[in-house]
């Protein structure tokens, strides 16, 4: 099940988007627009806003830091809207005016696409749970992959053990986070063996962060 994050200050419109996408069988999280909200566990973000809403455009810009596809809907009315799409690499595409009824189809199309997240020589395929460094598969277990994916989605930012241990499907933090150290040690060992030593670094008492890799 894919997770869609719906952000819109208009409660009625947000509820409409939520109902539309939930009927399609997706897990939906919704909230008012908040500039500091970066839910990196979402598979797709839907921003609803009026054309001159500076907050929405600021949030849209922030997602350049996070490897998640985003749909920005502006000029919204009862019949049509303007879609602007940013894919996981940060590339923008202004789709233009479209019937509101086509939104669901567009979301379905995006969620079915198997996007690969790339940062320099590192490539992650979330749907396949596959990670590669310079084309070489890293052969990570599920826990190691989840840790790397969380770090990749916020490159350069230190994530605490609690954040790295969080069960993203339930939003729960395990009482015992000691297991994260074992998985981190194993992940860093596999990265070092593949020639990516130093990619995941300790940030002192703040946690761990991903050192943004150079382009291969």
Residues pairing with 28 in the sheet: 4
Q: Are 187 and 144 in contact (CB under 8 A)?
A: yes
What is the pLDDT, as a whole number, of residue 155?
Answer: 83
**Structural domains in the chain plus CATH codes:** 3-112 (3.40.50.2300), 117-210 (1.10.10.10)
115 pLDDT band (50/70/90 cuts)? low
Burial (0-12, 13-18, 19+ Cβ within 10 Å), 130: middle
Question: Which three-class secondary structure state does DSSP give residue 179?
Answer: helix
- pLDDT (mean) for 64-91: 58
Q: Which two tokens stand for residue 88?
A: 């996981």
- Work out whether strand 44-48 and strand 3-7 pair parallel, antiparallel, or are unpaired: parallel
Q: Are 175 and 81 in contact (CB under 8 A)?
A: no
What is the pLDDT, as a whole number, of residue 188?
Answer: 94
Higher pLDDT, 114 or 33: 33
Q: Are 113 and 46 in contact (CB under 8 A)?
A: no
DSSP secondary structure code for residue 1 in this structure: -
Spatial separation of the C-alpha atoms in residues 180 and 160, rounded to whole Å: 10
**pLDDT (tens digit, 9 = 90+) per residue, 176-197?**
567 888 999 999 999 999 999 8
DSSP secondary structure code for residue 122 in this structure: E
């Amino acid at each position: 099940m894919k997770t869609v994050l719906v952000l819109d200050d208009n409660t009625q419109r947000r509820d409409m988007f939520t109902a539309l996408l939930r009927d399609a069988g997706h897990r939906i999280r919704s909230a008012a627009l908040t500039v500091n909200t970066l839910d990196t566990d979402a598979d797709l973000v839907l921003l609803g806003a009026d054309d001159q809403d500076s907050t929405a455009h600021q949030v849209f810009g922030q997602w350049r830091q996070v490897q998640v596809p985003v749909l920005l809907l502006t000029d919204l009315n009862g019949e049509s809207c303007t879609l602007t799409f940013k894919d996981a690499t940060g590339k923008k595409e202004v789709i233009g005016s479209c019937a509101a009824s086509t939104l669901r189809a567009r979301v379905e199309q995006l969620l079915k696409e198997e996007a690969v997240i790339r940062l320099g020589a590192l490539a992650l395929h979330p749907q396949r749970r596959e990670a590669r460094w310079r084309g070489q598969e890293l052969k990570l277990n599920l826990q190691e992959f989840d840790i790397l994916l969380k770090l990749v989605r916020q490159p350069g930012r230190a994530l605490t053990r609690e954040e790295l241990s969080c069960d993203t499907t339930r939003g729960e933090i395990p009482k015992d986070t000691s297991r994260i150290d074992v998985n981190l040690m194993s992940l860093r060992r596999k990265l070092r063996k593949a020639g990516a030593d130093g990619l995941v670094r300790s940030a002192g008492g703040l946690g761990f962060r991903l050192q943004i890799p150079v382009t291969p």
